[in-house]
Amino acid sequence: MFAVHRMATSHSLSSSVLLSSPSSSRTPPIRALSAAKRLVSSVPRRSAASELGGLGVRSKTRSGVSLVRCAVATESTQSARTSQAESLEETQKVEEERIVLPTNESSDRLLRIRHTCAHVMAMAVQKLFPDAKVTIGPWIDNGFYYDFDMEPLTDKDLKRIKKEMDRIIGKNLPLVREEVSRDEAQRRITAMNEPYKMEILGSIKEEPITIYHIGNEWWDLCAGPHVESTGNINRKAVELESVAGAYWRGDEKRPMLQRIYGTAWENEKQLKAYLHFKEEAKRRDHRRIGQDLDLFSIQEEAGGGLVFWHPKGAIIRHIIEDSWKRIHMEHGYDLLYTPHVARAHLWKTSGHLDFYKENMYDQMNIEDDLYQLRPMNCPYHILVYKRKLHSYRDFPIRVAELGTVYRYELSGSLHGLFRVRGFTQDDAHIFCLEDQIRSEIRGVLDLTERILLQFGFSKYEVNLSTRPEKAVGDDDIWDKATTALREALDDKGWSYQIDEGGGAFYGPKIDLKIEDALGRKWQCSTIQVDFNLPQRFDITYVDSNLEKKRPIMIHRAVLGSLERFFGVLIEHYAGDFPLWLSPIQARILPVTDNQLKFCNEVARKLKENSVRAEVCHGERLPKLIRNAEKQKIPLMAVVGPKEVETGTVTVRSRFGGSSGV
């Protein structure tokens, strides 16, 4: 959307390029809670995620932050189980004050501040580093960035740059708009020897070209908007956060640039609240916790974006999968297992080779036939449907699979468990009659709620997306299906927003975001009606008049993918999983090795009773206790001579002290 230089909405550059900052693709919108444990009101925002659907194109969530401070108290509102997950130390951090941070969407002033900050930073950089070439610098969630072609920067440089920015802000220089012809812009850019600026000028289609001056000292190609003068920025509400390498235009064949990220707010109080939130988010980073608790890894030797689930992560996944399968069977789903590859021909039929190719890996040749790793499970489930003739009496047919898929992602966009190349969708497809759509969707909503609640997610943001301009299927069926989705949501009693025209081309959909303990929102569940694939695969059933008809197909996922959901879970609980998910539920600690035999006996009995227990010894007791705490193990039993004598153990809960003998 706009960016410093070049850009700007009025110049209608492709917004996707400018929008995609790493921070916006990774970080979900943030909101946090107050000590009073109330939710901050949320800002509606658009999202379109069709990870699942037939030919969905994945899009990023634009995130506005709204958030706040004190993450912490929130979990206790969610369930007794989650409240367990809070440590004392966290609770002490709870602050009374509640701040709702504005977003770029909610505050035009803030957006102008951030946009202006990007220019001011570029001006400061060129003052200090005259050889630095400017490129682009958009506002983003929480702040702004700017890319420069220059020597690598250090943290020390950032401090100098911020100081120079403060000076520019202090001078209260006006931002003055000027319109020039393309030739004039070219002449000035040539004189300054700014090759990137020239390239940007080339991509601006409209004339005149707009330029913004900061005082008489510096200018940039831009279409605004800005604050009137640099003095409108509060220097105490601005911080330069980090510097990172970024390829020009995100293209690894183009030069590597220095990207400086900054955060900017309307006032100091907001900045503080944001920094507090950021710190809390960092503490919960699933990549760090994943390593500390030995849950998973991504190994260079195997390649980026490919996840190794270690024993402790794998047991959690097993528990999730187990419960997921059980609940699905209770809700009338049949389980499937299907292959990870298929003939390319299948992907031609499905349309993926024509419309989804950039997300798919190269084909492999097997006996002169081309095969393809699957990016989606849907065509397989259709093949299972097609194995026999169906009558209207068979419906609804619900099939579910924890289906692993592989999608091409640029290495630069990979991010822990959140953006990977191989992942397992908790996928399912429902084949039904038109007049069953409503009840089927309602059933999916119930099942979704049941599954999400057990993980402590009770707050959702729901979006219903309707027919886009370009779509397959006639108006009548779109109307029917959209009405069915709406009625199902109304039945369920959930409030939702309508995203007019935001549906996939193949059908309307419902997306659901869950809110984590920090108030951040994560797109996980999606339910999509599909009028396209049934037609492409020519699937049919026989109706009561013995005529062939086309069934309705619904794609849906509750967790999204196990990898990403696991990442969300780790951050939600900060690694402090509730008892039922804890990889090790109980650790038994002998005071001396004399009690070891008894301890092993206790552990064996616990395991026989499906309690995940282990014995730890070989260190002094206080160290053993500390280790167990570090590993966030919920229950501990210390065994001394007295316990051995009486054949008992005293159980201590990590959260609630002694739980008795």
Q: Which of these ranges, 188-196, 376-384, 395-403, 510-518, lies near Zn ion under the rule CB under 5 A? A: 376-384
Any contact of residue 123 with Zn ion (CB under 5 A)?
no
The nearest distance, CB 427 to Zn ion, in angstroms, is 6
Residue in the block written with tokens 């990403």: 564
Options 119, 328, 352, 429, the catalytic residue: 429
Question: Could you tell me if 93 and 300 are in contact, meaning their C-beta atoms sit under 8 angstroms apart?
Answer: no
Options 222, 378, 432, 524, the catalytic residue: 378
How far apart are the C-alpha atoms of 14 and 80, rounded to whole Å? 48
The nearest distance, CB 169 to Zn ion, in angstroms, is 16
Question: Could you tell me if 433 and 593 are in contact, meaning their C-beta atoms sit under 8 angstroms apart?
Answer: no
> Is 427 considered catalytic here?
yes
Options 78, 84, 270, 425, the catalytic residue: 425
> Is 509 considered catalytic here?
yes
Q: What angle do CA 197, 200, 203 make, to 5 degrees?
A: 155
The nearest distance, CB 530 to Zn ion, in angstroms, is 7
Using the minimum distance from each CB to Zn ion, give the nearer residue, 312 or 555. Answer: 555
The nearest distance, CB 582 to Zn ion, in angstroms, is 33
> Is 599 considered catalytic here?
no
Question: Could you tell me if 394 and 542 are in contact, meaning their C-beta atoms sit under 8 angstroms apart?
Answer: no
For residue 640, the Cα-to-chain-centroid distance in whole angstroms is: 47
Number of residues that bind Zn ion (CB under 5 A): 4
Using the minimum distance from each CB to Zn ion, give the nearer residue, 355 or 655. Answer: 355
Q: Which of these ranges, 20-28, 59-67, 374-382, 436-444, lies near Zn ion under the rule CB under 5 A? A: 374-382
Among 222, 240, 588, 589, the residue binding Zn ion under the rule CB under 5 A is 222
Q: Which of these ranges, 41-49, 81-89, 214-222, 395-403, lies near Zn ion under the rule CB under 5 A? A: 214-222
Among 521, 555, 564, 572, the residue binding Zn ion under the rule CB under 5 A is 555
Options 149, 220, 426, 427, the catalytic residue: 427
Options 509, 572, 632, 652, the catalytic residue: 509
Options 407, 467, 513, 520, the catalytic residue: 407
How far apart are the C-alpha atoms of 248 and 2, rounded to whole Å? 16
Query: Residues 325-364 vs Zn ion: string with x where CB under 5 A?
Result: ----------------------------------------
The nearest distance, CB 72 to Zn ion, in angstroms, is 38
Torsion angle of C-alpha atoms 587, 590, 595, 601, degrees rounded to 10: 0
Helix (H) or strand (E) holding 483: helix 475-492
Any contact of residue 378 with Zn ion (CB under 5 A)?
yes
Residue in the block written with tokens 């804890």: 582
460-465 and 497-499: which strand pairing?
Answer: parallel
Using the minimum distance from each CB to Zn ion, give the nearer residue, 9 or 20. Answer: 9
Asked if the bond preceding 130 is cis, omega within 30° of 0, the reply is: no
Using the minimum distance from each CB to Zn ion, give the nearer residue, 197 or 555. Answer: 555
How far apart are the C-alpha atoms of 357 and 359, rounded to whole Å? 5
Using the minimum distance from each CB to Zn ion, give the nearer residue, 222 or 402. Answer: 222
Asked if the bond preceding 396 is cis, omega within 30° of 0, the reply is: yes
Using the minimum distance from each CB to Zn ion, give the nearer residue, 84 or 377. Answer: 377
DSSP string, 581-645: T-SS-EEEEESSGGGHHHHHHHHHHHHHTT--EEE--SS-HHHHHHHHHHTT-SEEEEE-HHHHH
Any contact of residue 504 with Zn ion (CB under 5 A)?
no
Burial class of 495 by CB neighbour count within 10 A (0 to 12, 13 to 18, 19+): exposed
Options 45, 381, 555, 556, the catalytic residue: 555
Other Cβ atoms within 10 Å of 14 Cβ, number: 8
The nearest distance, CB 193 to Zn ion, in angstroms, is 21
The nearest distance, CB 291 to Zn ion, in angstroms, is 33
Q: What angle do CA 125, 128, 130 make, to 5 degrees?
A: 85
Using the minimum distance from each CB to Zn ion, give the nearer residue, 136 or 243. Answer: 136
> Is 213 considered catalytic here?
no
Residues acting as catalytic residues? 378, 407, 425, 427, 429, 509, 555
- Binding residues for Zn ion, per CB under 5 A? 4, 222, 378, 555
